[in-house]
Structure formats: structure tokens, C-alpha cells
Structure 1
Amino acid sequence: MDRLVKAEAKEVEVMFSKGQKCSSTFKLTNLMHTMSVAVSLTTTNPSLFSINKPFSIIPPLSSSSYTLHLTHPSDHPPLSDPPDAVTVRTTMLPTGKAPADHLRRLFSKPGPHLFRDAVLTISFVGPHVAQFLISQTSQSRNHFTKGISSLHVVKLLEASGCGINDTVLHEAAATNRIDAMEFLVERYGDELDLDSVDGEGRTAIHVAAGEGHVRVIQFCVSMGGNPNLVDWKGWSPLHYAAWGGHVEAVECLLECSNVKGVRDREGRRASCVAAEREESEARRRLLDLLRDQNGWSPLHWAAFKGRIKSVKVLLEHGAEVDTVDDAGYTPLHCAAEAGHLQVALFLLAHGASQANLKSFPRLAANFHSSKITSLHFLSN
């Protein structure tokens, strides 16, 4: 006789949820027509798993259900290589009944009376597992499970009923898992919405831009993703790339989107967001890239609009006070043309040059009519 009981499935699938108590139920059936069978269930990792009925008795041709519990809630699925398992051992029990202590002693003594009927692999499924697998680097994935691939991830999604527009796509974008994204697109085709948003209104392109993952941005755009969308706070992918200091991502987005002048809910362009970064070579490159079609920097715009607080912030973060646009205008020229004398005074106090003001007659007229003689804009 090969075995006394039959397992309903070869695996025990546990629906994993972060920080939650997780469990799974499985069934064993007695194959004996006239004899009761005693059953012993053990796991390869008793510190992680417990079973509600480690010892039991199944009557002839009957079935019994068992529940496997994950002992401690966790933020990550406890994956291992090889995977943990439940071992099913059995023995015939002619009496049909026995106390738990007797069963424990019965299975503690090896011998031909014991059968090893099954080894049930413990597997974790659910969107949180898929997100965890996608978020791992190749090196760390190989550490806990060999050969893990995008196919495994898709199987997890399908087994758990996770929608294809769930945040798995965002997790893949955040961790530069373009292989997983390619597989999802190939697997689901037109059903996949590359512009689906997370709880903050961000698409996968937003997420990739914030991390500087250029290939993911290019892939999403090539598959129909929209790089012009904004999230709940009005940020475009370009805002995220600028905030993160990702020069190549900014260059990529400037080529495939039309959001250079888009303002967020606070009125800031991507160039203003970049200007708030600490002084660095990347910051300088970003500000050059993000100038508008006239070559205006964030400081030009702030001066022209009379936003003295913005001017102050930009200068505090290292903005060049005498930067010039395509026509040779400095921020001081912009403030003068718009009649924002308070801004002009502030720029002068921070070293702005008034050397070229006389070459702009309109500016000279503006300041002459203001009667703010203390500026001496037109003095020799």
C-alpha cells in the first residue's frame, strides 16, 4: 500500500496580507474502506507555522479539514529556499479512537507501521506577495527562491484574484523591473491600463520618474502611457524627475511630454521644484534643461510675476541672480519691466547687476516714472 490518505491539493496556499494573521485550510481523505487512520502533521518550520490539529483520526472513507496558521504577522512573506512544507504521516488505527498522548507516542517511534503519505509545499499568494517579489533585486530574489520570474508573479496575481491595474505595476516601475512590466503587458494586452493611478493619483510613469528609471518611462510611453498626466497635488512626471534630481529622466520626459510649463497646485513649475534642490551640478543641469522656450529660468518668472517670496527662496537655494534669457534679460530686467520695484530692490541687494539697464529704454522709462530715486538705476 502506497498511502493511507490523499491530500486534496499538492500545495497549501496561504493568502498573505501585510501585518495580518494569515491561514489556509486544506483537506485530507482516508482511502481505507474499513479502517480508521491516525494522522500526524508537522511543518519544516514550527517557529513560523502552527496547525490546529497536529494529531487526528479520520474514519474510513471520510475527510477531515486542517488549518495552517502563520504564527506571527509580518510585513514580508516568509519565503524560503527550498520552500517550507507540511509533512503528512499516517498509521492504521484498528480501534478507531485514541487519546492525543497515545497518538503522540505512536508517531514518535519510527517503524514500518508509519507511512509518509505526502509533503505539501507551503506557498504564499496575494498582491502583497507579488509586490514583494517584484520589488526584489535579482540577487535577493535568487537568495530565497531560484528561478523566480515574471511568470511566477503573474501566477500569484491570478491565484489571488488581484486586479491587473493594482499597484503591482507601480511597484515594478519603482524598482526598475521592466521585465515584469513587459510580461504583464504581453499577458494582459489591451486589458492593462498603464495610466491607472495609486492612492496619490500617480501613474507608473510618475513613479518611474521619481526614481529616475528612464527605460521604464520609455517603455510606458511606447506602450501608450500618458506622460502629461498630473497627480492629486498637480505634479507631472517632470515634477517628480526634477525633484529627484534625475537629469536623464528630465531629458527623456522633455522629449516625450508637453508639461514643461505645467504648474502644480502651489503654482510651481518643474523648474521651480528643481531650484529648491541643494546646490549641485545636477541641479544646475536641471535648471538649464527646464528653461522655457524663451530661456527664462524660475528666477526670471518669479521676478516678472512679482513673487518676492519665491525670489527669496530661489536665491537662498543658489539661483544665479544675473542669469540671462535668450534676449539678454536678467531677472532684474524682468522685475523692472513689470514694475515690481520691491523685487528689483531685493535683487539689487543680492548683487544683481544694473549695468545693462540703460540698453533697455522701456525699462529705463518704467523706473524713471516710479520716482524711486534711491535705486539709481540710471546713474552713470
Structure 2
Amino acid sequence: MYIRILPTLTRANMAGGLEIHEAASTGDYDSLEEYLRSGKFDVNLKDEEWGKRTALHWAAAKGYVECLRLLLENGAKGTARTDSGWTPAHFAAETGKLTVLRALFNAGIPIDRKDKCGDTPRRIAEMYGHTECVRFLESAEEEQRDNRASRNSMYMSEDEDRES
């Protein structure tokens, strides 16, 4: 089985605003909150050295739900993609972080996006044997599809009303 090592960022590779990445990757909520409150950091900054990961990707991968919520509350894009097309949900699925997947879902973040290879977070969870995550993602994907279909039909009926 192939296992990806998720490195911990260090002060040595911090430059140009990546302090929020370090705080998110270590679960340092207080520092993360302070950095975000200062307004000096781009919450969606992509780290070029780590495949264009954002702080949200790190929080999701490491399972720091409170940091993840704080980032989302401060404008982090829940569907931000790395250079391989992974979203925070892909990282949570890879590492079996069910609470993170639930938090993303509850925040209204689509959890069924495909990466550049066509894999969804559910497929990643299947590959790594995270059965609870797979079960959750199956039902969450279905609910999100139903919600999208319902919104689409609502918009279609509004368009029909305007044409009448």
C-alpha cells in the first residue's frame, strides 16, 4: 500500500505569508486566529513548494477541525485545488478524517469534486480503506446531488414563469 507522508512545515521554509500554513498544519488555533485577525495574510495563499496547498488543505489533512472552521469563516475557499486537483476533502479522505469531511459538508462545500485523475474524495477513501468515510461520502454525495437537482429545477421553473 502506498502511503503519502504529510510533512510538518517548519519556520525554515516559512516565507511570504506561509505562517498560516504552519499554524493550520500543527493545529495551532491561537496563532492561526491571530494571523488571520491581523489581516496581513492571504487565507487562500497557495504554497508553491507543497503542490499549491492552502492552509485549509493542511488543516483538512491533519484533522484540525477547529482550524478548518476558522479558515472557512475567514474566507478560505473550500474547493481550492492543489496542482494535482485535490481539494481539502481529498486530503481528509486520504487520511480518514471523518470529522473534517462532516465539517466541509456542513459548511456547504461540494465533497464530490474529481481530481486531475478523475478520483473523488470517496474513491480516495476507498483506496485507503477508510470505510466510515466512504459510507459518509456516499450519502453526502447523494444529498448534494439531490440539492443541486432541486435548485436547478427551481431555477428552470422561475425561467418558465418569466416566459409566460
* TM tier, smaller: 0.7 to 0.9
How far residue 294 of structure 1 moved from its aligned partner, in angstroms, is 6.6
| 2: CA distance, partners of 1:276 / 1:192 | 35
- Which position in structure 2 is the counterpart of 1:358? none
- Which position in structure 1 is the counterpart of 2:57? 206
How far residue 223 of structure 1 moved from its aligned partner, in angstroms, is 1.1
Preserved contact between residue 239 and residue 270 of structure 1 (Cα < 8 Å): yes
Deviations 1:90-136 (A, max 9, x none): xxxxxxxxxxxxxxxxxxxxxxxxxxxxxxxxxxxxx529x6xxxxx
Which letter maps to 1:197? K
Which letter maps to 2:12? H
- Which position in structure 2 is the counterpart of 1:197? 46
Which letter maps to 1:246? K
How far residue 208 of structure 1 moved from its aligned partner, in angstroms, is 0.6
How far residue 258 of structure 1 moved from its aligned partner, in angstroms, is 3.0
Q: 1:293 aligns to what SS in structure 2?
A: helix
How far residue 169 of structure 1 moved from its aligned partner, in angstroms, is 1.2
| 1: CA distance, partners of 2:107 / 2:77 | 9
How far residue 172 of structure 1 moved from its aligned partner, in angstroms, is 0.8
What is the number of equivalent residue pairs in this alignment? 132
How far residue 198 of structure 1 moved from its aligned partner, in angstroms, is 0.6
More helix by share: 2
Preserved contact between residue 29 and residue 66 of structure 2 (Cα < 8 Å): yes
Q: Does 1:285 find its partner at 2:136? A: no
- Which position in structure 2 is the counterpart of 1:225? 76
Closer/same/farther in 2, CA of residues 184 and 267 from structure 1, 3 Å limit: same
Preserved contact between residue 112 and residue 120 of structure 2 (Cα < 8 Å): yes
- Which position in structure 1 is the counterpart of 2:160? none
Q: Does 1:258 find its partner at 2:127? A: no
Q: Does 1:172 find its partner at 2:23? A: yes
Preserved contact between residue 20 and residue 41 of structure 2 (Cα < 8 Å): no
| 1: CA distance, partners of 2:90 / 2:65 | 15
RMSD: 2.2
* Bigger relative contact order, structure 1 or 2 (CA pairs below 8 A, ≥6 apart): 2
| 2: CA distance, partners of 1:208 / 1:237 | 8
Which letter maps to 1:288? R
- Which position in structure 2 is the counterpart of 1:243? 94
Preserved contact between residue 228 and residue 257 of structure 1 (Cα < 8 Å): no
Q: Which runs of 5+ in 1 are unaligned?
A: 1-75, 77-126, 132-161, 297-380
| 1: CA distance, partners of 2:74 / 2:117 | 31
Which letter maps to 1:258? I
| 1: CA distance, partners of 2:94 / 2:120 | 11
Q: Which runs of 5+ in 2 are unaligned?
A: 1-9, 146-164
Identity %: 24
TM-score, normalised via structure 1 length: 0.33
Runs of 4+ in 1 over 3 A off after TM superposition: none
TM-score, normalised via structure 2 length: 0.73
| 2: CA distance, partners of 1:235 / 1:218 | 19
Q: Does 1:128 find its partner at 2:12? A: yes
Closer/same/farther in 2, CA of residues 261 and 233 from structure 1, 3 Å limit: same
| 1: CA distance, partners of 2:99 / 2:112 | 19
